[in-house]
Amino acid sequence: MPILIIRTVAGGLGRYADGDPVSAVPDDHVFGRMESLDAWKADGKLEINWPGGFALIKLPDITMDEARELCSSHSASDIKRKYTFDFREAERRSPETGRDTLNTQSQITRNYAEIKSLFSARL
């Protein structure tokens, strides 16, 4: 299952912007403590001190190639992504599972078909 690493804070000039899909990784990827709250806590650090900056969006209904396309740039030398993702709108209540974990743990599992409209082309 592909996992998108989404930037959740604005970077400076020449850096990723808020909502940029930074990378697509497989579900067996070992995250660093700056990418993942779980990795931060596993490193013995307090959750309250995690600086954040990234959200992990697990997408079980698409391929890695499709996920990589969502992270693509306009050119090989350009950091500016083709798409931006409105990650704040991906959180939702589900009657079956309760509250999703995007706001509380900076990660969520959603079907791409359900959140496709949250991706928009960046010119």
Residues listed for the chain: 123
Residue 81's nearest CA partner among 25, 24, 121, 35 is 121
Give the other-Cβ count within 10 Å of 81's Cβ: 21
Nearest CA among 108, 111, 98 for reference residue 59: 111
Query: How high is the pLDDT of residue 92?
Result: 66
Q: pTM, whole model, 2 decimals?
A: 0.87
Amino acid 76: pLDDT: 73
Q: Are 7 and 53 in contact (CB under 8 A)?
A: yes
pLDDT tens digits for range 55-108:
999 999 999 999 999 999 887 777 788 999 998 888 766 556 656 677 778 888
pLDDT of residue 100: 64
pLDDT in tens, 14-29: 788 899 999 999 999 9
Domain ranges of the chain: 2-113
